[in-house]
């Protein structure tokens, strides 16, 4: 039972015990009951189940309260000293205060509870956990640039859109940390263009080469392929040359024209769809990334998995030695799974919407793959996906003309499949679906639909692609 000290309740302070962690990085507790009924739910960051803590409410809603952590009164034995000096102020990490083995256990509990609550599914099987080195794992890191009152490179502050200056990041690769240090030096020297509001660093598989993406604020018309306003393209060439001189591992810089959106997820969404064209490429605009015995070309703006230690494990878990005549890879990205499916299936159809990723997809896959540039929803709704002759020999159709692959792999963005796509998949004559998810909430929502079509979970894997954060990668093998 939740242990609450009613004597400490007042308008600004409360002592209570944390019940559990929930998806999003917060701990959940219950406030004391009052004359109006049972106590509200309280969400508190940087806590561990079982801890007694002192909190201060920072946001009150009809059904819950969000609070700040003031003191840990009774620490959990799983509490450790965070490695990063910015932890607690930076919005990037949420679990550095928790022993890593405990992080994995809590993530598995959150996944299991989310599936139970939303998909109404009690997993009969164990969740198989896959982990690797929990530090220095990111091969891709995106930071914001601030120019006033002085130069700063950093992340969003916790629960804020303000920039927190950050000069190192222990979850990013060593080469990316070298790049962060180099940009700080150039910023202090006044070399960084004033219209630059974001940078993304992408390192290759052995952390020896780096591709830079630069996000540039412009007031020009979005259809114009030119750098808008000051500074000019010449300034970016000067910056790129200075960065390469400071860090020769930089192979090139790709400049995107964007609005200076405070919401970084909106910037990523722009790149994932029909978003900003590359306005300028300085040096090489791509990297070669070696994974699972294959060289993938990854250009600026393309999606690729971010954990350099677990990419191969993820691919092996997803492909799982499946073989057959035809496979369908939806949300194919740059072809990470597609290229491996092509080794095991006679024919693979790969569907991808992003123009940046699609160009790499076409480059990265062999001849038994047909690449289709489309959203998944549009592809599944079009007549060509339902009737007419097979797109490739060996790609079967069912009795009513719908594509009938032996396996469908889906790796959607955080928003998940959505009901239309999930129902369309359910109506297809397919024996297996492998669902790769980076958000257990949308996974559970979609799974509830797929279960209605007689799919069942054969295996559940949690691949910890994002240690020290609440994010998790889930792979579910579904069959019927």
Catalytically active residues, by annotation = 438, 473
Q: Which of helix, strand or coil describes residue 15?
A: strand
| Direct distance between the N- and C-terminal alpha carbons of the chain, in angstroms, rounded to an integer | 41
DSSP-H helix ranges across 140-218: 174-188
The rounded distance, in Å, linking the Cα atoms of 423 and 452 is: 9
Beta bridge partner(s), residue 43: 28, 66
Token couple for 408: 């469908």
The rounded distance, in Å, linking the Cα atoms of 463 and 465 is: 6
CA dihedral 447, 450, 454, 457 (to 10 degrees): -30
Query: Long-range contacts: 377-383, Cβ < 8 Å, 24+?
Result: 377/418, 377/420, 377/421, 377/424, 379/330, 379/351, 380/421, 380/424, 380/425, 381/420, 381/424
DSSP designation for 405: -
Q: How far is CA 30 from the centre of its chain?
A: 30
The rounded distance, in Å, linking the Cα atoms of 291 and 340 is: 10
Count of CB atoms situated within 10 Å of the CB of 461: 20
DSSP 67-115: EEEEEEEE--TTB---S-TTBTTBSS-S-TTB-HHHHHHHHHHHHHHHH
Query: Long-range contacts: 258-267, Cβ < 8 Å, 24+?
Result: 258/197, 258/198, 258/215, 258/216, 258/217, 258/218, 259/217, 259/218, 260/197, 260/217, 262/161, 263/161, 264/142, 264/144, 264/156, 264/198, 267/198, 267/215
Contact at 8 Å (CB) between 169 and 176?
yes
The rounded distance, in Å, linking the Cα atoms of 7 and 224 is: 64
The rounded distance, in Å, linking the Cα atoms of 117 and 461 is: 18
The rounded distance, in Å, linking the Cα atoms of 124 and 364 is: 38
Looking from the CA of 271 toward its CB, the CA atoms found within 13 Å total 25
Name the residue among 83, 113, 89 with its Cα closest to residue 21: 113
């Amino acid at each position: 039972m939740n242990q609450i000290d009613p004597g400490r309740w007042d308008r600004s302070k409360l002592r209570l015990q944390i019940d559990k962690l929930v998806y999003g990085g917060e701990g959940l507790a219950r406030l004391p009951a009052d004359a109006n009924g049972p106590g509200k739910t309280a969400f508190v960051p940087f806590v561990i189940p079982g801890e007694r803590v002192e909190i201060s409410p920072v946001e009150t809603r009809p059904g819950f309260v969000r609070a700040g952590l003031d003191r840990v009164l009774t620490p959990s034995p799983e509490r450790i000293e965070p490695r990063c000096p910015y932890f607690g102020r930076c919005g990037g990490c949420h679990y550095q205060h928790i022993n890593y083995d405990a992080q994995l256990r809590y993530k598995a509990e959150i996944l299991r509870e989310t599936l139970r609550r939303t998909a109404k599914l009690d997993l009969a099987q164990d969740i198989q956990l896959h982990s690797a080195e929990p530090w220095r794992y990111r091969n891709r890191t995106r930071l914001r640039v601030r120019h006033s009152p002085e130069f700063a490179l950093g992340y969003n502050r916790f629960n804020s859109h303000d920039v927190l200056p950050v000069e190192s990041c222990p979850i990013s690769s060593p080469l990316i940390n070298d790049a962060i240090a180099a940009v700080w030096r150039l910023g202090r020297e006044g070399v960084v263009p004033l219209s630059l509001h974001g940078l993304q660093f992408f390192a290759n598989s052995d952390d020896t080469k780096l591709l830079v993406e630069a996000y540039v604020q412009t007031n020009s018309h979005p259809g114009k392929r030119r750098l808008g306003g000051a500074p000019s393209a010449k300034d970016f060439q000067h910056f790129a040359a200075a960065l390469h001189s400071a860090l020769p591992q930089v192979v090139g810089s790709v400049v995107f024209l964007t609005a200076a959106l405070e919401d970084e997820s909106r910037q990523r969404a722009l790149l994932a769809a029909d978003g900003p064209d590359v306005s300028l490429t300085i040096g090489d605009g791509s990297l070669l990334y070696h994974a699972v015995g294959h060289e993938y070309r990854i250009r600026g703006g393309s999606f690729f998995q971010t954990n350099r230690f677990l990419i191969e494990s993820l691919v092996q878990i997803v492909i799982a030695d499946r073989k057959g005549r035809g496979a369908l890879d939806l949300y194919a990205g740059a072809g990470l799974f597609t290229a491996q499916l092509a080794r095991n299936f006679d024919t693979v159809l790969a569907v991808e919407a992003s123009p940046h990723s699609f160009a790499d997809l076409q480059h990265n896959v062999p001849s038994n793959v047909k690449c289709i540039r489309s959203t998944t929803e549009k592809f599944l709704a079009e007549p060509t996906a339902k009737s007419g002759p097979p797109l490739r020999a060996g790609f079967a159709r069912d009795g009513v003309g719908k594509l009938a692959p032996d396996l469908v792999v889906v790796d959607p963005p955080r928003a998940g499949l959505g009901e239309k796509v999930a129902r369309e998949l359910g109506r297809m004559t397919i024996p297996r679906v492998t669902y790769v998810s980076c958000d257990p909430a949308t996974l559970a929502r979609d799974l509830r639909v797929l279960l209605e079509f007689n799919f069942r979970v054969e295996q559940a894997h949690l691949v910890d692609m994002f240690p020290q954060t609440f994010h998790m990668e889930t792979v579910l093998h579904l069959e019927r």
